[in-house]
Structure 1
Amino acid sequence: MTQVVEAFEARHHDCRIVLCEINATDLYEPLRRGEIDVLISWLILDEPDLTAGPVIDSRSRVLAAAAPHPLAIRRSVSVEDLGDEEVAMMPHYPAALHDAITPPYTPSGRPVHRTHRVGTIHETASLVARGRVIHPTVEHMPVFRRADIVTIPIRDMPPLPLGPIWCTAHENARIRAFAEIAASRGPAPS
């Protein structure tokens, strides 16, 4: 992201990028309200009024589990393992994104038990650390880098792509230029 921002600002001296954090409970609304031009987020999008830009990064999938959890000693896990455990329910995430992070069913059709409603990633980490849930996530998530949580590679979930998203109706030359620079940088090595 830093390289994309620096490249954009170097080519477009008349534009200034202001980075701000968007609350996950209101992920796409700032775009729709015109408060921001571009959102950098997971490119799992099922919103007809939004456009997904190029992939600028991609993150491998891991499962966060409490250190004493039986899955914590494995070298890798399968999506099928989710059918045997409880996972957090993230009702504030857009449905397509929630399903990509925590699929509602395993590949064999068993339901994934989304039992604990959470409002933030920190609430999820707390439940994981206490052994109440496991949580499919992406590698290198700082909130799960703790002594009481182990992350295990998920061998059969595709990486999550990350990139720019914008409101289609608000697309302009600045957004197209940003997307072009993002595309020229390509995905970062994993």
Structure 2
Amino acid sequence: MDVHLRDLRYFVATAEELNFTRAAERLFVSQPALSKQIRQLEDHLRVRLFERDKRAVALTAPGAALLPAARALLRDWDEAQRAVADAAAAAAAVLTVGLSTSVGRGLLQGARERFTERRPGWTVKLRQINWDDATAGLAAGEVDVALLWLPVPGQEEMNLHVLATEPRWVAMRDDHPLAGRDKVAFAELLDEPFLALPATAGPLREYWLAVDRRDGREPRIGATVSNAEETFAAIEEGSGIVLLAEGNAAIYRRPGVTAVPVADLSPCELALAWRTEDHRPVIRDFIDALVRAGS
């Protein structure tokens, strides 16, 4: 049986992080699933790739020998996939934009108009991606560019342009005791059940739970949600409250749900992201169109 590239990808991430938890977050998978795949790879190769104990993870000699070869194979495969995808996109004249939430703010409509002026015959295709992948398909190569809320896993390996900086608000049922206030302090929300993004969203999950403002107190999780529709259904059911951007409070306004500014949280950032190695002129044209639409 041949080794799957997925197994090599899991191995490389674990070898580079030397921490199964961080590697799982980087790969957008659960830690048990990652551990299972590593064990299967070791069984297939009939070697131990890692030495594990309660304090540390280290490569064995066979693991150290496999690492450069695995990196080279993955690099070659990724380059081949991108070449095929770029050729297909150019032939079809389609640019795919990944999204995790509605964007509104007039950005996409304005960008489409400006982009098609420069690229007549091209189509901008929007692809909605659940929050299991906080990069909205960019890391997996499923989209050409993505509109993301920062921070996201692996953002140091992307090009980013911040399009909007907005205050954070909190959405809740309209019968909540804090509903109707002009603003609230985050301290008033500490004991509330929060709706959380999936664990694979990594730092983005922590950001929307405002973990850095809790002084080490664990957040109460009322439910885990994977997209905007699940989020607002959970609010309506009384499962919890959720932080969101000011602009998204307007986009998702609906009966039974209200949103209030949180006075003492840092603002959030909406960014356009694209791969650092993607130098196609069409990408630059879309970036320019989106920046001009937001100016």
**TM-score, with normalisation over the residues of structure 2?**
0.54
**Do the aligned residues in 2 keep the contact of 1:83 with 1:105 (CA within 8 Å)?**
no
Q: What is the rounded CA distance, in whole Å, between the counterparts of 1:81 and 1:105 in structure 2?
A: 15
> 1:36-85 deviations in whole A, cap 9, x for unaligned?
21112224334132221241x34432211122211113221122222121
Task: Look up the equivalent residue of 1:119 and give its one-letter code.
Answer: S
Root-mean-square deviation (Å): 2.7
Q: What is the rounded CA distance, in whole Å, between the counterparts of 2:119 and 2:266 in structure 1?
A: 35
CA distance change for structure 1 residues 76 and 43 in 2, over 3 Å: closer, same or farther?
same
Q: What is the rounded CA distance, in whole Å, between the counterparts of 1:127 and 1:33 in structure 2?
A: 29
**Do the aligned residues in 1 keep the contact of 2:172 with 2:258 (CA within 8 Å)?**
yes
CA distance change for structure 1 residues 183 and 147 in 2, over 3 Å: closer, same or farther?
closer
Q: What are the equivalent positions in structure 2 for 1:172-183 lying under 5 Å apart?
A: 172-183=280-291
Of residues 158, 162, 166, the one that matches 2:266 is 158
Task: Look up the equivalent residue of 2:174 and give its one-letter code.
Answer: A
CA distance change for structure 1 residues 126 and 185 in 2, over 3 Å: closer, same or farther?
closer
Does 1 or 2 have the higher relative contact order (CA < 8 Å, sep 6+)?
A: 1
Q: How far has the Cα of 1:95 moved from its partner?
A: 1.7
Q: What is the rounded CA distance, in whole Å, between the counterparts of 1:143 and 1:107 in structure 2?
A: 28
Structure 1's unaligned 5+ residue stretches are none
Q: What are the equivalent positions in structure 2 for 1:48-127 lying under 5 Å apart?
A: 48-55=156-163, 57-91=164-198, 94-106=201-213, 108-127=215-234
CA distance change for structure 1 residues 38 and 111 in 2, over 3 Å: closer, same or farther?
same
Structure 2's unaligned 5+ residue stretches are 1-107
Q: What is the rounded CA distance, in whole Å, between the counterparts of 1:36 and 1:64 in structure 2?
A: 30
**Do the aligned residues in 2 keep the contact of 1:54 with 1:182 (CA within 8 Å)?**
no
Task: Look up the equivalent residue of 1:164 and give its one-letter code.
Answer: L
Of residues 150, 157, 168, the one that matches 2:276 is 168
> 1:93-145 deviations in whole A, cap 9, x for unaligned?
62222222221242655443234223333333233223331111123447852
* Secondary structure of residue in 2 paired with 1:19: strand
Which structure carries more helix by proportion? 2
Give the structure with higher Rg (CA).
2
Identity %: 25
**Do the aligned residues in 1 keep the contact of 2:157 with 2:275 (CA within 8 Å)?**
yes
* Secondary structure of residue in 1 paired with 2:263: coil
* Secondary structure of residue in 2 paired with 1:129: helix
Q: What is the rounded CA distance, in whole Å, between the counterparts of 1:69 and 1:22 in structure 2?
A: 30
158-167 vs 103-112, which deviates more? 103-112
Structure 2 partner of 1:32: 139
